[in-house]
Chain A
Amino acid sequence: QQQVKQSPQSLIVQKGGISIINCAYENTAFDYFPWYQQFPGKGPALLIAIRPDVSEKKEGRFTISFNKSAKQFSLHIMDSQPGDSATYFCAARGTYKYIFGTGTRLKVLA
Protein backbone atom coordinates (compact mmCIF):
# COMPACT_ATOMS: atom_id res chain seq x y z
CA GLN A 1 0.00 0.00 0.00
CA GLN A 2 3.03 2.26 0.40
CA GLN A 3 4.22 1.69 -3.16
CA VAL A 4 4.15 4.07 -6.06
CA LYS A 5 4.27 2.27 -9.39
CA GLN A 6 5.90 4.14 -12.27
CA SER A 7 5.98 3.39 -15.99
CA PRO A 8 7.60 3.16 -18.43
CA GLN A 9 11.05 2.28 -17.18
CA SER A 10 12.61 4.00 -20.19
CA LEU A 11 11.34 6.26 -22.94
CA ILE A 12 12.78 7.54 -26.20
CA VAL A 13 11.15 10.56 -27.80
CA GLN A 14 11.97 12.65 -30.83
CA LYS A 15 12.78 16.33 -30.31
CA GLY A 16 9.54 18.29 -30.28
CA GLY A 17 7.47 15.30 -29.26
CA ILE A 18 5.43 14.68 -26.11
CA SER A 19 6.87 12.59 -23.28
CA ILE A 20 4.36 10.93 -20.97
CA ILE A 21 5.23 9.17 -17.71
CA ASN A 22 2.62 7.50 -15.54
CA CYS A 23 2.37 6.70 -11.85
CA ALA A 24 -0.17 4.89 -9.71
CA TYR A 25 -0.62 4.65 -5.96
CA GLU A 26 -2.79 2.82 -3.44
CA ASN A 27 -2.62 4.83 -0.25
CA THR A 28 -5.39 7.44 -0.21
CA ALA A 29 -3.67 9.20 2.68
CA PHE A 30 -0.97 10.54 0.36
CA ASP A 31 -1.45 14.31 0.23
CA TYR A 32 1.15 15.73 -2.15
CA PHE A 33 2.55 14.43 -5.43
CA PRO A 34 5.83 15.90 -6.73
CA TRP A 35 7.88 15.00 -9.76
CA TYR A 36 11.67 15.10 -9.62
CA GLN A 37 14.23 15.33 -12.41
CA GLN A 38 17.66 13.80 -11.94
CA PHE A 39 20.76 14.22 -14.10
CA PRO A 40 23.71 11.81 -13.80
CA GLY A 41 25.85 12.49 -10.75
CA LYS A 42 23.33 14.93 -9.31
CA GLY A 43 20.61 14.70 -6.72
CA PRO A 44 16.96 14.84 -7.78
CA ALA A 45 15.54 18.32 -8.25
CA LEU A 46 11.89 19.27 -7.88
CA LEU A 47 10.25 19.80 -11.25
CA ILE A 48 6.55 20.29 -10.54
CA ALA A 49 4.06 19.15 -7.89
CA ILE A 50 0.32 18.82 -7.37
CA ARG A 51 -2.11 18.35 -4.49
CA PRO A 52 -4.97 15.84 -4.78
CA ASP A 53 -7.71 18.50 -4.87
CA VAL A 54 -6.44 19.70 -8.27
CA SER A 55 -6.83 17.74 -11.52
CA GLU A 56 -4.15 19.46 -13.56
CA LYS A 57 -1.18 21.75 -13.06
CA LYS A 58 0.91 23.30 -15.79
CA GLU A 59 4.29 25.00 -15.55
CA GLY A 60 5.81 25.89 -18.87
CA ARG A 61 6.23 22.73 -20.93
CA PHE A 62 5.51 20.46 -17.94
CA THR A 63 2.00 19.37 -16.96
CA ILE A 64 0.78 17.04 -14.23
CA SER A 65 -2.56 15.35 -14.75
CA PHE A 66 -4.11 13.90 -11.60
CA ASN A 67 -6.98 11.39 -11.42
CA LYS A 68 -7.96 10.99 -7.78
CA SER A 69 -10.62 8.34 -8.35
CA ALA A 70 -8.24 6.16 -10.35
CA LYS A 71 -5.32 6.94 -8.00
CA GLN A 72 -3.14 7.79 -10.95
CA PHE A 73 -1.10 10.78 -12.01
CA SER A 74 1.08 11.53 -14.97
CA LEU A 75 3.75 13.92 -16.19
CA HIS A 76 3.52 15.34 -19.69
CA ILE A 77 6.51 17.08 -21.23
CA MET A 78 5.46 19.05 -24.28
CA ASP A 79 7.90 19.97 -27.06
CA SER A 80 10.53 17.66 -25.54
CA GLN A 81 14.12 18.84 -25.92
CA PRO A 82 17.46 17.00 -25.76
CA GLY A 83 18.17 18.91 -22.54
CA ASP A 84 15.19 17.12 -20.98
CA SER A 85 17.08 13.82 -21.22
CA ALA A 86 17.25 12.70 -17.59
CA THR A 87 15.66 10.31 -15.12
CA TYR A 88 12.26 11.33 -13.79
CA PHE A 89 10.79 10.18 -10.49
CA CYS A 90 7.25 10.55 -9.29
CA ALA A 91 6.65 10.63 -5.56
CA ALA A 92 3.85 10.69 -3.03
CA ARG A 93 3.99 12.18 0.43
CA GLY A 94 2.82 10.09 3.36
CA THR A 95 3.40 10.52 7.05
CA TYR A 96 7.04 11.53 7.67
CA LYS A 97 8.23 10.30 4.28
CA TYR A 98 7.99 10.54 0.53
CA ILE A 99 7.53 7.32 -1.42
CA PHE A 100 9.24 7.38 -4.80
CA GLY A 101 8.58 5.51 -8.01
CA THR A 102 11.36 3.49 -9.60
CA GLY A 103 12.15 6.17 -12.17
CA THR A 104 11.87 6.66 -15.93
CA ARG A 105 14.96 7.22 -18.01
CA LEU A 106 14.00 9.67 -20.76
CA LYS A 107 16.10 10.19 -23.86
CA VAL A 108 15.13 12.90 -26.31
CA LEU A 109 16.70 12.49 -29.72
CA ALA A 110 17.96 15.60 -31.49
Chain B
Amino acid sequence: GAGVSQSPSNKVTEKGKDVELRCDPISGHTALYWYRQSLGQGLEFLIYFQGNSAPDKSGLPSDRFSAERTGGSVSTLTIQRTQQEDSAVYLCASSSDYNSPLHFGNGTRLTVT
Protein backbone atom coordinates (compact mmCIF):
# COMPACT_ATOMS: atom_id res chain seq x y z
CA GLY B 1 0.00 0.00 0.00
CA ALA B 2 0.99 3.58 -0.52
CA GLY B 3 -0.11 4.96 2.83
CA VAL B 4 1.23 4.99 6.37
CA SER B 5 0.64 1.61 7.97
CA GLN B 6 0.25 1.09 11.71
CA SER B 7 0.01 -2.16 13.62
CA PRO B 8 -1.75 -3.50 15.50
CA SER B 9 -4.94 -1.57 14.78
CA ASN B 10 -6.25 -2.46 18.23
CA LYS B 11 -4.42 -3.53 21.37
CA VAL B 12 -5.90 -4.46 24.71
CA THR B 13 -3.40 -4.95 27.50
CA GLU B 14 -3.40 -5.31 31.24
CA LYS B 15 -2.11 -2.57 33.48
CA GLY B 16 1.59 -3.01 34.11
CA LYS B 17 2.37 -4.79 30.84
CA ASP B 18 4.66 -3.42 28.13
CA VAL B 19 3.37 -2.72 24.61
CA GLU B 20 5.00 -2.00 21.27
CA LEU B 21 3.29 -0.05 18.52
CA ARG B 22 4.63 -0.12 14.99
CA CYS B 23 4.60 2.44 12.21
CA ASP B 24 5.58 1.87 8.58
CA PRO B 25 5.83 5.28 6.92
CA ILE B 26 5.38 6.01 3.25
CA SER B 27 8.47 4.85 1.38
CA GLY B 28 11.05 7.61 1.09
CA HIS B 29 9.51 9.81 3.78
CA THR B 30 12.28 11.06 6.02
CA ALA B 31 10.15 12.80 8.63
CA LEU B 32 8.06 10.74 11.04
CA TYR B 33 5.83 11.87 13.90
CA TRP B 34 3.97 10.15 16.72
CA TYR B 35 0.84 11.73 18.16
CA ARG B 36 -1.64 10.59 20.80
CA GLN B 37 -5.36 11.23 20.51
CA SER B 38 -7.48 10.82 23.61
CA LEU B 39 -11.28 10.87 23.56
CA GLY B 40 -12.52 14.39 23.03
CA GLN B 41 -9.02 15.77 22.87
CA GLY B 42 -6.88 17.05 20.08
CA LEU B 43 -3.72 15.43 18.86
CA GLU B 44 -0.97 15.50 21.43
CA PHE B 45 2.58 15.56 20.01
CA LEU B 46 4.86 12.83 21.30
CA ILE B 47 8.04 12.71 19.19
CA TYR B 48 9.51 13.71 15.83
CA PHE B 49 12.10 11.78 13.84
CA GLN B 50 14.21 13.10 10.99
CA GLY B 51 15.80 10.01 9.55
CA ASN B 52 16.82 7.88 12.52
CA SER B 53 17.40 10.74 14.92
CA ALA B 54 14.84 12.40 17.15
CA PRO B 55 15.57 16.13 17.45
CA ASP B 56 12.36 16.61 19.43
CA LYS B 57 11.12 14.08 21.95
CA SER B 58 9.69 16.70 24.26
CA GLY B 59 6.15 15.33 24.05
CA LEU B 60 6.88 11.92 25.56
CA PRO B 61 4.74 11.97 28.75
CA SER B 62 7.12 10.04 31.00
CA ASP B 63 10.18 7.82 30.96
CA ARG B 64 7.85 4.84 30.43
CA PHE B 65 7.53 6.00 26.83
CA SER B 66 10.29 5.52 24.28
CA ALA B 67 10.53 5.37 20.51
CA GLU B 68 13.07 4.39 17.95
CA ARG B 69 13.40 4.43 14.22
CA THR B 70 15.68 2.15 12.27
CA GLY B 71 16.94 2.35 8.71
CA GLY B 72 15.15 5.66 8.28
CA SER B 73 11.93 3.73 7.91
CA VAL B 74 9.99 1.70 10.48
CA SER B 75 9.39 3.22 13.89
CA THR B 76 8.37 1.57 17.14
CA LEU B 77 6.74 3.31 20.09
CA THR B 78 7.16 1.38 23.32
CA ILE B 79 5.18 1.97 26.48
CA GLN B 80 6.48 0.20 29.57
CA ARG B 81 4.39 -0.65 32.63
CA THR B 82 1.20 0.61 31.00
CA GLN B 83 -1.29 2.61 33.03
CA GLN B 84 -4.99 3.18 32.41
CA GLU B 85 -4.33 6.80 31.47
CA ASP B 86 -2.25 5.52 28.53
CA SER B 87 -5.47 4.38 26.84
CA ALA B 88 -5.79 6.38 23.63
CA VAL B 89 -5.35 6.21 19.88
CA TYR B 90 -1.71 6.46 18.90
CA LEU B 91 -1.24 8.03 15.48
CA CYS B 92 1.82 7.98 13.27
CA ALA B 93 2.40 10.42 10.44
CA SER B 94 5.13 10.84 7.87
CA SER B 95 6.16 13.47 5.36
CA SER B 96 8.71 13.57 2.58
CA ASP B 97 10.44 16.51 4.22
CA TYR B 98 9.83 19.22 6.78
CA ASN B 99 7.97 21.43 4.30
CA SER B 100 5.61 18.76 3.05
CA PRO B 101 2.22 17.92 4.59
CA LEU B 102 1.72 15.11 7.05
CA HIS B 103 0.20 11.81 5.99
CA PHE B 104 -1.38 9.94 8.89
CA GLY B 105 -1.95 6.27 9.45
CA ASN B 106 -5.23 5.01 10.90
CA GLY B 107 -3.74 4.65 14.34
CA THR B 108 -3.48 2.00 17.02
CA ARG B 109 -6.27 2.04 19.59
CA LEU B 110 -4.69 1.08 22.91
CA THR B 111 -6.89 0.03 25.81
CA VAL B 112 -5.31 -0.62 29.19
CA THR B 113 -7.53 -2.63 31.54
Whether chains A and B associate is yes
A: which residues have CB within 8 A of B? 4, 6, 32, 34, 36, 41-46, 49, 89, 91, 95-103
Q: Are A96 and B48 touching (Cβ within 8 A)? A: yes
Q: Are B106 and A43 touching (Cβ within 8 A)? A: yes
Q: Are A49 and B101 touching (Cβ within 8 A)? A: yes
Interface presence of B16 (CB below 8 A): no
User: Please, how many angstroms separate the alpha-carbon atoms of A44 and B106 in the complex?
Assistant: 8
Contacting residues, chain A, for B45 (C-beta < 8 A):
97-99
B: which residues have CB within 8 A of A? 4, 33, 35, 40-43, 45, 48, 55-56, 59, 91, 93, 99, 101-107
Selected A-B contacts with CB under 8 Å, 20 pairs: A34-B101, A36-B104, A42-B106, A43-B4, A43-B93, A44-B104, A46-B102, A89-B42, A96-B55, A97-B33, A97-B48, A97-B56, A97-B59, A98-B33, A98-B43, A98-B45, A98-B102, A100-B42, A102-B40, A103-B42
Q: A89-B42, A96-B55, A102-B42 are in contact. List 14 more A-B contacts (CB 8 A).
A: A6-B42, A34-B101, A34-B102, A41-B106, A43-B4, A43-B91, A43-B106, A43-B107, A44-B43, A49-B101, A91-B43, A100-B42, A101-B42, A102-B41
Which of A32, A89, A95 meets B43, CB within 8 Å? A89
Contacting residues, chain A, for B107 (C-beta < 8 A):
43
B106 to chain A, nearest CB (A): 5
Contacting residues, chain B, for A46 (C-beta < 8 A):
101-103
User: Please, how many angstroms separate the alpha-carbon atoms of A43 and B89 in the complex?
Assistant: 10
A11 to chain B, nearest CB (A): 15
Contacting residues, chain A, for B42 (C-beta < 8 A):
4, 6, 89, 100-103
Q: Are A96 and B91 touching (Cβ within 8 A)? A: no
B105 to chain A, nearest CB (A): 5
B103 to chain A, nearest CB (A): 8
User: Please, how many angstroms separate the alpha-carbon atoms of A82 and B92 in the complex?
Assistant: 28
Contacting residues, chain A, for B102 (C-beta < 8 A):
34, 46, 98
Contacting residues, chain A, for B4 (C-beta < 8 A):
43
Most A-side CB within 10 Å, residue of B42, B101, B102, B103: B42
